[in-house]
Each structure stands twice: as C-alpha cells, then as structure tokens.
Amino acid sequence: MAGRISEDGGELDENSEINVTPFIDVMLVLLIIFMVAAPLATVDVKVDLPQSAAKPTPHDDKPVFVTLKSDLTLAVGNEEAARETFSSVLDRVSGANRERRVLLRADRLVDYGELMAVMNLIQRAGYSRIALVGLEAAPAP
C-alpha cells in the first residue's frame, strides 16, 4: 500500500490505487523469455543413420496382371479368361510359378465384392502373393 502526503499538515494519507506498471513490466519480460525459450524447447532429434549394404529385393521382370473389367470379365495378361478356366490360364501365363506376384487391377466401377471374389479365385489357384494396382493421383492443391 502506498502513502501520499496530504496538503494540510504533512500527514500521510493512504493511497488505495493499484500501480500496474511494475506488473506490466514483469509480464513483458516473461513474454520475451517464453518467446525465446519456446523454439529451443522443441525436440529435434538429429540422427546420423548408417548406410545399408543390403541388396534391393528383386522384382519380377514381367509380373502377371489379372484385370477385372467393368463388365466383370477377366483377363490374364492380354488373354481373356472365363472364371471356370481361370486357374489353368493363370498357370499357363505365369509358367506355373506359384511364387510369382500377381498384380490385380480392376475398373473403378467394379463392386468391392466382385474384386474380393477374383482375389479368392487367385488364392484358390494357389497364388498367395497378390497386389492391387492403382493409378497415382496428383496431390490435391
């Protein structure tokens, strides 16, 4: 509490006003401290990663493409295949190599259930390495 000298006799009167200037000064100093310290507090872990000498995994030179068209007909490579003879056509095109990767591509309008049915056909034929093919889209602006 601050005091003030009165004009009439030199007595001290009590001053009940709050002086906010020191409070503002302290807050500005704290603000500057936090503004400087905040970027320093971010965690930025710098790691010097070792180089790998591992060889990249070999990919098939000629993968087997299975195509499901919008009219639900199947093609293995460029050859049309009926669902009844699908496994024999797939074996002939892949050289009966069941470890070969089968790339499945389907038309945009094909139902998800039909796509899963074709995946089941491929698995029943003995091929377990199935990958889905899609087009890369440009990033949205």
Better pLDDT: 140 or 41? 41
Confidence of residue 21 (pLDDT cuts 50, 70, 90): confident
109-130 pLDDT per residue, tens = 888 899 899 999 999 988 888 8
- Average pLDDT of the chain? 80
For the domain spanning 64-133, the CATH number is 3.30.420.270
The domains of the chain are located at 64-133
What is the pLDDT, as a whole number, of residue 29? 94
Residue type for 107, please?
D
pTM for this model (two decimals): 0.54
Sign, CA dihedral 7-11-16-18, equals: positive
CA distance 138 to 141: 9
28-68 pLDDT per residue, tens = 999 999 898 887 777 655 555 566 676 766 665 678 888 88
Alpha-carbon distances, residue 56 vs 53, 59, 101 (angstroms): 9, 9, 16
User: Does residue 103 have a pLDDT over 70?
Assistant: yes
Whether residue 122 contacts residue 66, with contact meaning beta carbons closer than 8 Å, is answered with yes
User: Is residue 96 left, alpha or beta, with left meaning phi > 0 and alpha meaning psi from -120 to 50?
Assistant: left
Percent of the chain with pLDDT over 90: 15
